[in-house]
Chains A and B, each alone.
Chain A
Amino acid sequence: MKSFSNKYIFIYSAVLVAIVAVILSVVAMGLKDRQQENIRNEKMQTLLAAINVTIDRDGAEALYKEYFTRELTVGTDGSILSEYDIATGEMISGTERAFNVNLKAEQGKEKAGQQGAFPVYLFQKDGQTGYVIPTQGNGLWGPVYANIALDADLNTIIGVTFSHDSETPGLGAEITTEKFQAPFIGKKILDENGTVVSIAVKKHANPEGEHEVDAISGGTMTSNGVSAMLGNDLARYQAYITNTLQSSVEPQPAVEEAANNNEKEASNE
């Protein structure tokens, strides 16, 4: 075996690492735009999937504009920090689109005691309006994500999509399957008092229970992660949900009463 001088070893490793670094960065830079576009389209695709619209990735953008109307970011105090009109492509208030929010960064801000901006997507589909709330948490090996589509009552789940980066195929990765996701539909995230109680993912869940679904056998850590993710993230919308429900429920009877009064007056005359 040849012997190599220390100098040769240093130069060899430096050159090797430099070459590999250059190749990888050139490739990464060159492909970045295409990758970003794929990621954006996929995000739209998963948001659409949450409201039960299935579409391939290339068609996602057009349908996203058709079904989704507004993107909001809200603070944990219920304040609306930004509003974006999807049809016209204009910011109504605030500066950052909910779509571009880095959820993980906002969660970090919130932990550090600052105000985070959390996204809400408003959709309108076949006359039904509702909300999609994105969540992100930790599974066993890496992040897990979910989009929760809520009915106009901000309580009943009408669709969910789960995704993950690196959960074990066949075990934790089963959260992306229909079998795991279907039981979420029809569950409620609020209790009778309007407090967010989320959905628990647990073993031997009662199928009739409004706040629980069955965990994945062999995927306990991922199931626990999903459960914690939903609990933590949905709770941040407590104030927003309470405000929205109050402002949408209370004025309506008032309007109806006024209308009734008018009718009465009209009939009296």
Chain B
Amino acid sequence: MSNNLKLFTTPLAKNNPITVQILGICSCLAVTAQLKPAVVMALSVTVVVALSNFIISLLRNTIPPRIRIIVQLVVVSALVILVNQVLMAFVYDVSKQLSVYVGLIITNCIVMGRLEAFAMSHKPFESLLDGIGNGLGYGIILVILGFVRELLGSGTLWGYPVMEKLGMYKIGYENNGLVIMAPMALILVGIIIWIQRSKDKDLQEN
């Protein structure tokens, strides 16, 4: 059981999909200008990675290796479209929020990466845990980025005007437009990687 727990916890820090595996960078630049989309994206990716890991793991012995990537892609896209269709009929507002991310989730390297690296060679329950762990590990970084970028870039958090309420504008504070731009997300990820590696000796390469 401790082994299973490990599957779940290592992706949160030691084997974090963004800062250590360097997967999913693209989507983490795109959705972290604000906190809210970052959280929505984090939850969606977690659900999709977990479920697709589970399904692929169930199918793993029947999938011919030569077409495995295509099979994975079909499963992932079917899953994402299915979820979106159901949301559209029953919780339309959530689906409107998510419609932007559908494409980003299907093409997210983390999903394919975990299917390929883990689910194809492990049992369904372990794969499910691995999926949830990786989704949350991805989510943590997204939320950190979304928090910093929205606070410094727009002066708000979850749409609430924090800086204005604190009276920062009156003493000459201004929002930093650069933080909203995608390159700044990359710089922030770089800083997080730097901090993480300087704390964790195992990750240092020399």
For A2, the chain B residues whose CB sits under 8 A away are: 61
Contact of B180 among A16, A35, A171 (CB under 8 A): A171
The CA of A165 and the CA of B98, in the complex, are separated in Å by 10
Return B25 CB to nearest CB of chain A, in Å. Answer: 16
**Contact in complex: A38, B92 (CB < 8 Å):** yes
**Contact in complex: B92, A42 (CB < 8 Å):** yes
**Contact in complex: B100, A173 (CB < 8 Å):** yes
**Contact in complex: B92, A17 (CB < 8 Å):** no
CB of A27 within 8 Å of the partner chain: yes
Interface string of A25-45 (1 = CB under 8 A from B): 001100100110010001000
For B81, the chain A residues whose CB sits under 8 A away are: 24
Interface string of A205-231 (1 = CB under 8 A from B): 000000000000110000000000000
Number of B residues with CB within 8 Å of any CB on chain A: 37
For B181, the chain A residues whose CB sits under 8 A away are: 218
**Contact in complex: A9, B88 (CB < 8 Å):** no
Return A29 CB to nearest CB of chain B, in Å. Answer: 10
Q: Which residues of A contact B (CB under 8 A)?
A: 1-2, 4, 8-9, 12-13, 16-17, 20, 23-24, 27-28, 31, 34-35, 38, 42, 57, 165-171, 173, 217-218
Q: Which residues of B contact A (CB under 8 A)?
A: 30-34, 36-37, 61-67, 70-71, 74-75, 78, 81-82, 85-86, 88-90, 92-93, 99-100, 103, 149-150, 154, 177, 180-181
Which 6 pairs of residues, A with B, have the shortest CB-CB distance?
A: A170-B33, A169-B37, A4-B64, A31-B89, A34-B89, A170-B34
